[in-house]
Structure formats: structure tokens, C-alpha cells
């Protein structure tokens, strides 16, 4: 694990939505209670059901938040990247994590004890308000996905999932926009509430139409605009 100097960490915190608008002195105080932690690829930050004692801010890497049903079905809630907060929702509730978080690339984090964050919020209302705004934004997003899951066909939802991933981790190259992380058919299925078979069939069809290029755990998008049309169920 690489060491980070305070200046670097302060800059990261400053850009993180949770700490926006707070004076440097406050950030510095927050950093005093934080420690960095590294998670290798495919390790877990925490598992669903464990006591929610730690709050993270992701510095580097990508992670996946998933929920496992009693029947063994896995559902992906969202992917997170640098600057994202993990665990605010449970930081002040003293319960267990409702989801698991898995590092899908090597990850570096800043970690706080949940109590520390609660105290900081009591001390700095701004921090609590930022957290509220953050959770509110995610809530609205989840609400939208809920509605899509309830009313749209699988093909539309897969298109939306890819468009979301483009926004989050899309990397423009000469051969198209590449989703810059390992992404299997199963992963896409868990994002959209369907099966890997159906995802495979849909991607094959799109590949024949030249919209995308699908490889092993990788997707390259040639015509994002076509995906927008598919997502909105418009004729092509």
C-alpha cells in the first residue's frame, strides 16, 4: 500500500461531495481520525449482515455494492469510484450493513469509525446536510431504477445500465467507448434484474447491428446514441 501525504488527501476530500464547503481545518480534523486501508481485487470491504462500524471514502479503484437474497440471487445496487462515500446510510444507525461491498479492482480507501462520523456531523451541521443531500440524490436515482425495473423490458434496462456505466467509467478510445472495468454478462444481469443468458442474447444482437463490441468481461460501445433510443423504446 502506497502512502499518501496530507496535502493529497486534503485535495481528495475537498473534491468529495460529502466534504464540500467545509473549511480546511475541519477536513484536517477529520483526517486525524481516518486511516487508509487497501483492498485487493475481489476482496470485500464488508459483507451484508455484519455490524456497520466503518465508513469509507474510496480514494482509488472501483467497488460494487450488492445485495444477496435468501434464495441466493445477487442484485447489484450500484458501482462506486474514487471520491464516493460508502456506508453513510448506516453510519449513524448502529445496525448491520444491508449490502456487501466488493473491490472489483484494487482499492484504496480512507476509513473512519462510524461513531467518529456521527460526532463530526453533530459538530458540523454542514457535514450532516451534505450527507443528506448525497443520500437524497442516491434515493432519487434508486427510485428511478425501481420504476424502470417495474415498467420496462429487459432490453431497455440493459441499455440504460450500459449508458450509466459509460457515464461512470466510460473511456473514449479510437475503437469506441470502452467500459473501463471487468464486466461480465452475469454482472450486467445482476444490474438489470435478468439472467446472464438473456444479457448474452441481447449483446449478441447489438453486436450484429454494429452498436457494440462484446468481449470477455468487456464491452465497447460504438453507437451510444442507439442505446439511448433503445432505452427510450424509440424506433431505430
Partner DNA sequence: TGGCCAATTTGCGCTGGCGCAAAGACGGCC
Partner DNA sequence: GGCCGTCTTTGCGCCAGCGCAAATTGGCCA
Judged by CB under 8 A, the stretch of 37-45, 56-64, 121-129, 221-229 that binds its own copies is 121-129
Label each residue of the chain as H, E or C.
CCCCCHHHHHHHHHHCHHHCCCCHHHHHHHHHCCEEEEECCCCEEECCCCECCEEEEEEECCEEEEEECCCCCEEEEEEECCCCEECHHHHCCCCECCCEEEECCCEEEEEEEHHHHHHHHHHCHHHHHHHHHHHHHHHHHHHHHHHHHHHCCHHHHHHHHHHHHHHHHEEEECCEEEECCCCCHHHHHHHHCCCHHHHHHHHHHHHHCCCEEEECCEEEECCHHHHHHHHCCCCC
Angle separating helix axes 6-15 and 24-32, nearest 10 degrees: 120
Tell me if 67 contacts its own copies by CB under 8 A: yes
Tell me if 185 contacts DNA by CB under 7 A: yes
The smaller minimum CB distance to DNA, of residues 53 and 148, is found at 148
HSE-up of 7 (CA within 13 Å, CB side)?
0
Among 84, 102, 155, 190, contact with DNA (rule: CB under 7 A): 155
Tell me if 204 contacts DNA by CB under 7 A: yes
For the CB of residue 4, give the shortest distance to DNA in the complex, in Å: 28
Judged by CB under 7 A, the stretch of 61-69, 127-135, 163-171, 212-220 that binds DNA is 212-220
Binders of its own copies among residues 141 to 200 (CB under 8 A) are: 142-147, 149-151, 193
Three cell numbers written together for 71: 434464495
The smaller minimum CB distance to DNA, of residues 20 and 156, is found at 156
Contacts with its own copies, 194-233, as mask; x by CB under 8 A: --------------------------------------xx
CA dihedral 17, 22, 25, 26 (to 10 degrees): -70
The smaller minimum CB distance to DNA, of residues 144 and 153, is found at 153
Which of the listed partners (DNA, its own copies, none) does 126 bind, with a CB threshold of 5 to 8 Å by partner kind?
A: its own copies
Among 198, 220, 222, 223, contact with DNA (rule: CB under 7 A): 198
For the CB of residue 200, give the shortest distance to DNA in the complex, in Å: 3
Contacts with its own copies, 22-61, as mask; x by CB under 8 A: ----------------------------------------
Q: Which residues bind DNA (CB under 7 A)?
A: 153-155, 184-186, 193-198, 200-201, 203-204, 207, 214-217
Amino acid at each position: 500500500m502506497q502512502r499518501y501525504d496530507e496535502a493529497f488527501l486534503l485535495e481528495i476530500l475537498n473534491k468529495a461531495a460529502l466534504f464540500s464547503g467545509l473549511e480546511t481545518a475541519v477536513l484536517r480534523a477529520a483526517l486525524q481520525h481516518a486511516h487508509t486501508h487497501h483492498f485487493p481485487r475481489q476482496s470485500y470491504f464488508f459483507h451484508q449482515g455484519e455490524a456497520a462500524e466503518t465508513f469509507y471514502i474510496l480514494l482509488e479503484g472501483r467497488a460494487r455494492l450488492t445485495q444477496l437474497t435468501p434464495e441466493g440471487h445477487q442484485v447489484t445496487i450500484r458501482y462506486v469510484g474514487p471520491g464516493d462515500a460508502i456506508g453513510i446510510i448506516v453510519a449513524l444507525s448502529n445496525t448491520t450493513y444491508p449490502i456487501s461491498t466488493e473491490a472489483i479492482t484494487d482499492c484504496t480507501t480512507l476509513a473512519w469509525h462510524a461513531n467518529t462520523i456521527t460526532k463530526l456531523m453533530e459538530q458540523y451541521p454542514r457535514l450532516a446536510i451534505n450527507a443528506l443531500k448525497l443520500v437524497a440524490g442516491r434515493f432519487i436515482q434508486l427510485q428511478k431504477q425501481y420504476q424502470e425495473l417495474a415498467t420496462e423490458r429487459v432490453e431497455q434496462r440493459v441499455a440504460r445500465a450500459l449508458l450509466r456505466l459509460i457515464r461512470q467509467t466510460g473511456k473514449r478510445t479510437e475503437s469506441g467507448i470502452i467500459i473501463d472495468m471487468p464486466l461480465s454478462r452475469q454482472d450486467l444481469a445482476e444490474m438489470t434484474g435478468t439472467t446472464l443468458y438473456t444479457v448474452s442474447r441481447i449483446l449478441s444482437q447489438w453486436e450484429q447491428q454494429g452498436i457494440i463490441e462484446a468481449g470477455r468481461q468487456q464491452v465497447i460501445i460504438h453507437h451510444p446514441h442507439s442505446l439511448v433510443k433503445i432505452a427510450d423504446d424509440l424506433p431505430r
